[in-house]
Structure 1
Amino acid sequence: MRDSSVHPFFGKAVIAPAGHNSSSHCARTHQWDDQALVKKVYNRLKDDGLPVWMDIEGGITGNINDAMAAGVEDAAVICPFMTPEYQASRSCKKELNYAESREVIIVPVMLAENWEASEWLGLITAGLLWVDFRNAERDEENFEMCVKSLEEEIMFNAGHLLTVDEPPREEVDQAETPKICLKKKPGRSFRHALSQLYIHESDEQLIHPTTDSRNSVELSDTRGDQCYWEEIKGSGCKYYRNVVTNRFLGFDSNRNQIHSEASPSVSEEWLLLVDQTDQSHKRAVVIKNKRTGKFLAVQNGRFTGLTSYNGDCKWFLE
C-alpha cells in the first residue's frame, strides 16, 4: 500500500515516494495563473509512475498555512514554477523559504521568457539548474521534451527517495509510443552539442611537475560507465567525481588541459548553468570553471577553455 504521506511537491503539486519510512515527497509550487499547465504536467508525471500530489486534487484543506507547511514537510523535492507572478506571490515566497529552511531538494522550472529570478527567489535558486519550460506549450513535441527533462532532473536529485510505479502492461497498438521506465542514473553524463562526444575518465596518468596524481580526461564517441559523473555540492560550486574511478574533474589553465585528481581542489570547482540560448529542450548546459572563469569547450576534437561563450561551449545532459 502506498504511504500517502511522502511525495515530491510542485508549485501546488507534490510527488510522493511510496514505501519511505520518513515523511518526504516532491512538490510543485506555482502561481494560480499557471494552474492549467501545472495540472497537465502533474497528470503526465502521474501517468509515468511518479507519486504526485496536488492541492487542486484535494490536498489543501483547513488552514492554508498549515496545509502548505504539511506539504513542504512531507516533500522530498519541491519544484517551483518560476514567473514574475510567482516571485511576487507572498504565499509562494513563504512556501519556498520554508522548504529551503528544511533543506528540501529544490528543482526549479522556468516558465518566463526574457526574465531572471531576483530578490528572494533569485537568492534561493542561485546556482540551481532549472528545467526549461519556456516553450512547453508551443506544441506537444516541446511539451514531451520538457516533461522528460523534468522527470530526469527529479530522478537525478531524488530518485533514491522516490518509489516509482512500473507502467501498467497493457495491450497497445504497435504504433503507440511505449511507456517510459523512470530510473535513477548513476550520475550526469555530458555530450558535446557539436562533436557529439562525451567527457570520459581515463586511466592514463599525466606527467606533471608538481604532482603525479593527475589522470587524463578524454572525449569518447560512446557513453560508457566512466562517462558518468557524480555531482557534489561545494561552496558556490559543484565538484564532479567519476562514478567508477572516484576521481574529480579538473582544469589546468596554464596547460589548457582537462584532468582528474584523487581529491578536490580549487581547480575542480565548476559552475553548471542552463544554456539560455538553446531552444531544443535537450537539457543544454554550460560548464564553467569557477577558478579561471573559462568555459569548457571542444574545438578540433580537443578540450579547451574559452574566455567567452560560443557554440563550442554547449553540452547536453544525458
Structure 2
Amino acid sequence: MSSEHGLHVMLSYHWDNKELVSKIYKVLKSRNIRVWMDIHGGISFNLFHSMADGIENAAVVCCFMTSKYQSSRNCEKELLYADRRRVPIIPCRLIRDWEPSTWLGLVIAGLVWVDFRDTTDVNLDLKIDKLIEQIRIVAGKKLNCFLSETSPTLQTRPICSNNSSNNLYPILTQMNDISDSNNLVRSTSIDSSSSSPKRSTPMIDRQHQSIDNTNIIPPPVPPRPNKDLIRERLLSIDIKKNSNEIESIDEKKENNIPLRSEKPDICEISYQQQAYTRFIPDVVDLSPLIINNEKKSSGIIIDYSKFRRLPRIIGDDNDEISFCCPSGVAISKTGLIYVADQQNQCVKIIPLLGSKKQILSRPFNRPKGVHVDEHGRILVTEHNRLLILDNELNLLKAIGEHGSKAGEFNVPWGVTTDSLSNMYICDQMNNRIQKFDADGRFLLEWGYEGEHQGQFYYPHFISVSGNRVAVSDQLNHRIQIFDCFGNYHYKLGEVGNEPGQFSCPFGVCIDANNHLVVADHDNNRVQFFDANGDIELVLDQEANPLFNFQGVHGLALTHDGGLLITDYKRNGKHRLFIFA
C-alpha cells in the first residue's frame, strides 16, 4: 500500500486473534480512518515487502498482545522494525493473567496501553472508542481523517461550585444528535456525494461524559523509555553479582597488570587436549572484556593499514567481469580469488593482482558459499549439498542431500575449515552448524531455531581461527562465538544502526588475534572489532565516498591481512571490493 493517499493505522496481531481484530478493522474503516491489515488487502505478491511497506507508511502501529504474539517470530520482526523506524506504537492487551516480557516488554515499556481484555459485543464499541482516542493523541496530526475534521463551535459558561469558585467548561453547540448520558454524542454532516453520514465532531466518552475536542490540548504522550539506560541497568545487576571479580580486574587495570581469564584461554588448548578435557568456557556475554590479548596465535592477522588505500573494484559497468548476486568469496595461497556468483550459477576464478579478466568459470546450481582449505581444495555449497573440488573446480566429492538429519542440508550457505581441514557448514534453514572431517565424515552438529545463546535464526556465514568459531546469526542480528566443539562462548552485537550494532549481518571473518570483521548487510557497512569487542574501524560511505556499499555479503581475509568483499543490491551494482 503506497503512501500517496496519506498514512494509515497498522494493525499487528497473531493469527489466533484475527476475528476480533477484523471487527476492529471494520469499525475503524467506518469512522473514515485509513487502516492496514494483512488479510484485508495489505499483502501483495511478497509477504515481507508488504509488511515492510505497511510499517513504513504507518502513522501508528496498534499491536494486539498475547503470549502467542510474543513468541511469534513474524510479529517480533514486525514490531521491532516499527520501533526501529520510530513509528508510534499503541499496545492493546487481549488476555488477563499475562504480562508481556522479553523483547515485547522492552518495546512497550512506558507506553499507554488500551484494554481489550474480556471483550464482548456489548463493550466492544466502547473499547474501540478508547483506541481511537489514543490514536488521536499519538498520531492525530499525521492522519487525514483527524486533520479534516471540522471542530464544533465552542462557548463557555461559568459553573458555580460549592466553594463559589467559577470553573470554565466547554459546551457543544449546534449538535444534531444528542442522546442520553449512556450513549455516544456526535454531530453528523451528510456528504452530497455519499449517502453515509460522516463524523464531523469528536466523540464524548460514554463513561466519563468528558468532551474530546481537537481544540483542547491532549495530555502529553509518555516518553519512550531510554533502552540504552535499561540495558545498562540490567547489565549492572549481573556486574554486581560478580563484583569481586570486576573489582580485581579494575585493580589490575590501575596497576597495569595484564588481564587474564580465571580459566585458560581456549586458544592455548591443543586439539588433543580438547578431546579429553572438553573445555567449556564461561557462558557470559561480557566475557570479551576479559579475553587474554597477550598470546598471539599463528595465522592471518588483519593489516589495518590496507584500508587507508583505495580498494580495487571489480564488477563496474566498464569491467569485462560481471556478477549477478555474488555471495561467498575465498582466496587461495597462490593469489586466486573464487567468487560464488549465485544468479549466474557459476564460480568464477579471478587473479588477485594484475588483469581483471577471469581465468575460469564453472557452472553450479546457485552456489552460496566458497572456501579454500589448507590443502588447496575448493569447498562450494550449492543446492542442499557440499562439493569438494580441486583447484580447477573439478568435482572430487559431494556430501549431503536435502533433509534435516545429520549430514543432510536445507539451504547450506557459509563454509569454512580449521587447521585440521575439518569442515564447518551453516545449515541455514535447519538453523544449525554441521561439522565434518577432512574426508567428509559427519562429526557433530549444534544449534536449533531460537534467540537464546547457542540458537540461531538463519546462520549465514562462518569463520574459524584457532579454536574460535564465529557465526553470523542473521535474523537475531548478532555474531556468536563458539569453540570447535560447538560450546557457546559469547555474542557480539544487537539489532540497530549504531556502531557495534547490526542489521542482518552476513559475512564474518576472525583473525589470529581474535579480531572480527562483520558484513553489516542492511546498514551497508563493514565493521571491525578487536578481541575485547570494541570497534576498531568502520568502512562505510561516511568514512569514504568510495565505500558506497549497497548490500555487503561475503568476506574473506587475504593471507597478508587484506580483505575481499562481495557487495550487491538486486537493482543496483554487483561488485567485488579488494583491499590488498
**TM value normalised by structure 1:** 0.49
Larger radius of gyration: 2
**TM value normalised by structure 2:** 0.28
